[in-house]
Amino acid sequence: MNIQEMLLTTLTSFTGVIILVIVRMLKEYLLRKGGAAAVRTLEIVASHAVQAVEQLAKDPEVELHGEQKLELAKEKVRDELAKYNFYFTDEQLNTFLEAAVHSMNSAWEGE
C-alpha cells in the first residue's frame, strides 16, 4: 500500500469518526430539547431520503451530483418532517444527512 492510499484510508476513517461524534453530540442535544420521537424520526427520514436520492441519481436520464443531491434530500426530509410538525435547522439536517450517507457508504464497503 503506498503512502497516498494509507493517507486516504486514514483521512476517511478520521472523517467517519468525526461525523459520528458530531451526530452523537447533536443527537444528545436534540433529545434534551425536542424529544426522542423527533430525533428518531429525523434519523429514519434522513436515511430514507439519502437512499431515495442515490437511487434516483443512478438513473442515466437524471443529472444529480453533489450539492444537488444534498439539496434534494433536504427538501424531501423537510417535507416529510413537516407532516409531523418537526422542524430542524439546515445545519442539523446536513449533519443527519451526512451521517446517513456515511452509514450507507460503510454498509456498501462492508465496514
For 14-27, write each residue's pLDDT tens digit: 888 888 888 888 87
Residue located via cell numbers 460503510: 106
Q: Provide the residue type at 80 as one letter.
A: E
| Least confident stretch, 29-33, 44-48, 62-66, 79-83 | 29-33
Q: Which pLDDT value is given to residue 5?
A: 84
Cα–Cα distance, 98 to 20 (Å, whole number) = 10
Answer whether residue 7 shows pLDDT above 90. Answer: no
Answer whether residue 8 shows pLDDT above 90. Answer: no
Under a CB-based contact definition with an 8 Å cutoff, are residues 94 and 70 in contact? yes
pTM for the whole thing? 0.68
Q: pLDDT exceeding 70 applies to what percent of the chain? A: 94
